[in-house]
A and B are shown apart, each in its own frame.
Chain A
Amino acid sequence: MKQTFKRPKALVDIPFHFCPGCHHGIIHRLVAECIDFYGLREKTIGVASVGCSVFLYDYFNADVVEAPHGRAAAVATGVKRASPDNFVFTYQGDGDLAAIGTAEIIHAANRGERITVIFVNNTVFGMTGGQMAPTTMSGQETTTTPFGRDLETNGFPIKMSELLTELPGSTFVARAAVNNPKNLMKAKKLLKRAFEVQTNGEGFSFVEFLSACPTNWKMTPKQATERVQEEMIPYFPLGVFKGGQE
């Protein structure tokens, strides 16, 4: 018998600190698999952000620099400009990228920085205990929207992929989910393309992952996964928005 599924080499062999059923773990593994697949481990410089994924630097067997909350795209800009032969990626939550770091991501995309951005949209500030994120859905209860997000006062859940698609500087923009095997397989393909966009020197690549946060959604992992399907995907449609084929 041959081993057909194993832990990617780019992942350090330590347990994740994520809650049971948190999709961050799956997304970490997919990124690590891609790094392995393209043989990029020794060329990779990761940029960790602040959120539940802050320990990215412990999990990836690669060089990682920590960015202040929201500034990963700016840090990655500096890294990539100074070190263009390295593979540079950021991994950011929706609070990090779509609230405090909105300016940095828009301008990095608009400049066409040759970086790959992994954006994890779980409609909530996970790390700080479940407050409203810019992506929080209409009516969604969070610790700072105890009566549900009211679009009148809180505005609308922001669609980052659609926003970045409009920028002439972005090369590849896609939205994926890992809530079931079918979506996960599609996500792998999109992620590979995002990697190639950087390794081919084509430009800025961005993959938004819809992700479950069972803890702050106050759901079981199963319910959370179903919520991704039933509530999130209809509002945040999956697919490639820009730059599908070479």
Chain B
Amino acid sequence: MAEAEFIKGNEAIAMGAIEAGCRFYFGYPITPQNDIPEYMSRHLTDVDGTFIQAESEIASINMLLGASSTGARAMTSSSSPGISLKQEGISYMCGSQIPGVIVNMSRSGPGLGGIDPSQGDYFQATRGGGHGDYRTIVLAPHSVQENYDLTMKAFDLADKYRNPVVILGDALLGQMKEPIRRRKYRKKEFPKDWAMTGAKGRKKRLLKSLYLSEGELTDHNWMLNKKYQSMKREIMFETQFMEGAKLVVVAFGSVARILKSTVQMARDRGMKVGLFRPITLFPFPSAALDKISHSIKNFMAVELNTGQMLEDLKLSVGHKKNQVDFYGRPPGSIPSPDELFHEIKKIYKKRIG
């Protein structure tokens, strides 16, 4: 095993990307993710890669579209307002089936909001975000190690499905430092028989999203939908203390990380609380939650927003008269494990006694 190194969350993403063979990075500065472009600008040259500080997030996403269209591994990163600007490009990439990795170290909104950690972009990330009926795979790390590991995975998934993959972190996950273990990445090769390489000795290729003939776009949308459905096999989640649990707290990303301490506190006090952490937000681990809901009836979503993932949780377990409670902390401050314990205790008392 490699020795542990102390790394900043944002840098772990950049390192993971380069190790996964990302050779093109396009971005526009925005707090709290600037360590990513800064790292890329310094280290991509070591591997003959290209870094461009673009004129905007719009330009960045379209440069990503262009570079990825040649079959190369490429990435852009930003934070919430910048991710809003990228949405049209992401929609085109989905429509044209062009892979690419998009990192959102999200900050608080709406508008300029602030730079605090926030999970307010859950809907934007998991519902497509831009125009048209499309989805991106969304990975939600909760530690620096996962920032690194999931970034590598993101490149494989993007190539595998010919689809953009979003990594949804936040200011907390970008800024904190933690030891990580580097691992040897084995690149998975996927056929790139669609890539722009010049029509040498073969028929020309087209990457486009415009379909005008009768029925063509209907078929295209169903084909894409089938692909999004097939992504279910990539579902990832983590559970803790599920044995005999009477209340399952469901949370992702930074707040799930804080909740790990909270749930431990609850168990120490004899409360039967478990933790369910979705790692893929799209596709959402609905089937797993549904299964759990056959034996456990009480769920509680905790998010750094006013209730977004909550809807997916309700869709997954909301039938059969299960109880789904919610604690939301919109951006401005991060809840401590104690505060969260207090909130969980309230629900636990109400539902279980």
Instruction: Check A48 against B204 for contact (C-beta < 8 Å).
Output: no
Query: B52-89: which residues lie under 8 A (CB-CB) from chain A?
Result: 52, 54-56, 58-60, 62-70, 72, 74, 88-89
Instruction: Check B59 against A41 for contact (C-beta < 8 Å).
Output: no
Q: How far is the CB of B20 from chain A (nearest CB, A)?
A: 16
Instruction: Check B204 against A63 for contact (C-beta < 8 Å).
Output: yes
- Give the tally of cross-chain contacts (CB within 8 A): 139
Contacts of A79 in B (CB 8 A): 66-67, 69-70, 196
Contacts of B200 in A (CB 8 A): 42-43
Interface size on A, residues (CB 8 A): 36
Contacts of B197 in A (CB 8 A): 45, 63, 83, 86
The closest CB in chain B to the CB of A86 belongs to: B198
Instruction: Check A61 against B204 for contact (C-beta < 8 Å).
Output: yes
Contacts of B69 in A (CB 8 A): 65, 75, 78-79
Instruction: Check B66 against A65 for contact (C-beta < 8 Å).
Output: yes
Q: How far is the CB of A99 from chain B (nearest CB, A)?
A: 14
Q: How far is the CB of A147 from chain B (nearest CB, A)?
A: 33
A161 CA to B68 CA in the complex, in Å?
30
Instruction: Check B68 against A78 for contact (C-beta < 8 Å).
Output: yes
Instruction: Check B198 against A44 for contact (C-beta < 8 Å).
Output: yes
Whether, in the assembled complex, A177 has its beta carbon less than 8 Å from a beta carbon of chain B, the answer is no
Contacts of B54 in A (CB 8 A): 74, 107
| Chain B interface category by residue count | 35 or more
A107 CA to B67 CA in the complex, in Å?
17
For A103, give its contact among B59, B67, B196, B206 (CB under 8 Å). B59
Contacts of B67 in A (CB 8 A): 78-79, 81-82
Contacts of B199 in A (CB 8 A): 41-42, 44, 61-63
Contacts of A106 in B (CB 8 A): 55
The closest CB in chain B to the CB of A66 belongs to: B208
Instruction: Check A76 against B55 for contact (C-beta < 8 Å).
Output: no
Known: A41-B199, A54-B210, A71-B89. A103 touches B50 (CB 8 A): no
Q: Mark B1-44, 1 if CB is under 8 A from A, else 0.
A: 00000000000000000000001101000000000000000000
Instruction: Check B89 against A63 for contact (C-beta < 8 Å).
Output: no
18 interchain pairs, CB-CB under 8 A: A45-B197, A47-B66, A65-B98, A65-B206, A66-B207, A68-B65, A71-B59, A74-B54, A74-B60, A75-B63, A75-B65, A78-B70, A81-B63, A82-B67, A82-B72, A103-B59, A104-B59, A107-B55
- Chain A interface residues toward B at CB < 8 A: 41-45, 47-48, 54, 57, 60-68, 71, 74-83, 86-87, 103-104, 106-107, 111
- Chain B interface residues toward A at CB < 8 A: 23-24, 26, 50, 52, 54-56, 58-60, 62-70, 72, 74, 88-89, 92, 96, 98, 196-201, 204-210
